[in-house]
């Protein structure tokens, strides 16, 4: 699988010291905390929130709210109804959304939410632990996998990121329905004297699922896009990628941003001199205030947001991962003589050629522009790999 090749390429190596980038990351963390606190006072009733609540309700609430531990009978029950839980967001039956799920913008934003599954959910989800155990914080059922470039936002109103001007071109979300229901069941058991289960569901989806994801994931995607801009204003892949850079004010990102980008530029210059490898670059680029670097962040995202391995889902994989793969190749192309880079490009070109042969974009029926975008970017990626 093409995605596995990129994940294997991302080796964990000691990062470069990036003091100004770390300082900017702490500033972003404070902004996220402020946004989370503001959102906690809002009444949850957004359309995306209701979609997630209805998916949880497809399970038998008497079963998932029963007292006691989440034992094997519970997890077996969930696995048996998993396909039913995924039906509302199954692209194979035409569930392509046109409504505003989690983005409100004056410009059109193509939003798509698709099911995802962990490789080994029984081992990866801590059903034997109470909800206050730290391991539950690592269970993120809902993720923003990719988002077209837009302003950085720290405010979530009505479970949506609001862009008064031009918003992102697209937003792709993944939802692990099994993890979502398991996490709610653990959350419910941790509450005292729940009198209104509908309100409990809304509070859980709003505070524990949607708000943390909208704030943290969009920051990570904004940082990824910003890093790419710093490494290349014009790259061999740029002509195949529609990128719009909106002006972000100092009030939004703070004065620490400039120094942070100087750290990134020094990283770029050292890579050009072959003083470091691309693995050091990926291990040094911070993606969130928790200090996760690009390598660990994308590896976790990839393995916890796996698309079902079937041909009708291939176009979804394109939307979810093409920007990540282009980023990895863009950075790696600065030092094309490294053996690992040569090996990656040699292996990936075979997979891209295979994808182009069976034309996954033909499965896109809800948005003609995105059918064209997938085809253009795949063919552009193939051309770059051939000539690079």
pLDDT digits (tens, 9 = 90+) for 143-177: 999 998 767 888 888 888 988 877 888 899 999 99
> pLDDT tens for residues 308-321?
766 667 788 888 89
pLDDT at 56: 96
- The token duo for 24 is 């900017």
Number of other CB atoms surrounding residue 81 within 10 Å: 16
Q: How far is CA 203 from the centre of its chain?
A: 22
- Would you give the distance in Å from CA 45 to the centre of its chain? 23
Which has more pLDDT, 325 or 46?
Answer: 325
Q: Sign of torsion, CA 238 244 246 252?
A: negative
Tokens of 361: 């974009």
pTM of the entire structure?
Answer: 0.90
Does residue 244 have a pLDDT over 50? no
Residue located via tokens 């691309």: 278
C-beta separation of 228 from 132 below 8 A: no
Q: Regarding predicted confidence, which is higher, 269 or 336? A: 269
Q: In angstroms, rounded to a whole number, what is the distance separating the alpha carbons of residues 313 and 68?
A: 37
pLDDT at 97: 57
DSSP per-residue codes, 350-372: HHHHHHHHH-GGGG--S-HHHHH
Q: Do the beta carbons of residue 271 and residue 278 sit within 8 Å? A: yes
Mean pLDDT of 36-48: 86
Average pLDDT rounded to a whole number, residues 248-268: 77
- pLDDT category at 360 given cuts 50, 70, 90 is confident
Q: Which residues of 13-23 are buried (b: 16+ CB within 10 A; e: fewer)?
A: bebbebebbbe
Please report the pLDDT score of residue 208 as a whole number. 95
Check residue 99 and give its pLDDT: 64
> Is pLDDT above 90 for 213?
yes
Q: Is it the case that residue 333 has pLDDT exceeding 90?
A: no
Q: What is the reported pLDDT for 247?
A: 38
- What's the helix, strand, coil split of the chain in %, to 5? 60, 10, 30
């Amino acid at each position: 699988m093409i995605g596995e090749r990129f994940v294997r390429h991302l080796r964990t190596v000691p990062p470069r010291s990036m003091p100004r980038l770390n300082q900017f990351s702490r500033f972003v963390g404070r902004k996220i905390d402020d946004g989370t606190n503001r959102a906690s006072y809002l009444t949850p009733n957004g359309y995306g929130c209701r979609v997630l609540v209805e998916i949880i309700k497809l399970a038998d609430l008497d079963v998932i709210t029963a007292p006691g531990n989440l034992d094997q009978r519970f997890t077996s029950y969930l696995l048996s109804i998993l396909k039913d839980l995924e039906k509302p967001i199954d692209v194979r039956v035409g569930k392509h959304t046109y409504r505003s799920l989690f983005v409100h913008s004056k410009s059109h934003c193509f939003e798509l939410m698709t099911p995802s599954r962990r490789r080994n959910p029984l081992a990866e989800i801590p059903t034997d632990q109470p909800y206050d155990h730290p391991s539950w914080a690592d269970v993120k059922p809902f993720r923003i996998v990719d988002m077209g470039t837009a302003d950085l936002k720290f405010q979530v109103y009505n479970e949506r990121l609001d862009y008064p001007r031009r918003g992102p071109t697209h937003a792709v979300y993944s939802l692990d329905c099994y993890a979502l229901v398991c996490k709610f069941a653990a959350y419910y058991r941790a509450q005292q004297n729940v009198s209104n289960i509908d309100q409990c569901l809304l509070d859980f989806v709003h505070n524990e699922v949607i708000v943390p994801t909208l704030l943290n994931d969009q920051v990570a995607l904004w940082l990824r896009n910003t890093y790419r801009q710093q490494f290349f204003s014009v790259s061999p892949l740029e002509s195949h990628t529609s990128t719009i850079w909106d002006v972000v004010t100092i009030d939004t990102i703070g004065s620490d941003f400039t120094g942070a980008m100087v750290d990134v530029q020094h990283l770029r210059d050292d890579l050009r001199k072959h003083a470091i490898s691309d693995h050091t670059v990926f291990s040094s680029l911070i993606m969130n205030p928790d200090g996760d670097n690009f390598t660990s962040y994308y590896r976790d995202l990839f393995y916890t947001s796996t698309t079902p391995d079937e041909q009708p889902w291939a176009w979804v994989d394109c939307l979810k991962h093409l920007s990540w793969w282009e980023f990895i190749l863009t950075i790696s192309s600065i030092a094309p003589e490294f053996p690992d880079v040569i090996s990656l490009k040699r292996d990936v070109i075979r997979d891209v050629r295979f994808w182009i042969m069976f034309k996954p974009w033909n499965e896109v029926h809800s948005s003609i522009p995105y059918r064209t975008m997938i085809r253009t970017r795949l063919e552009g990626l193939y051309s770059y790999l051939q000539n690079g």
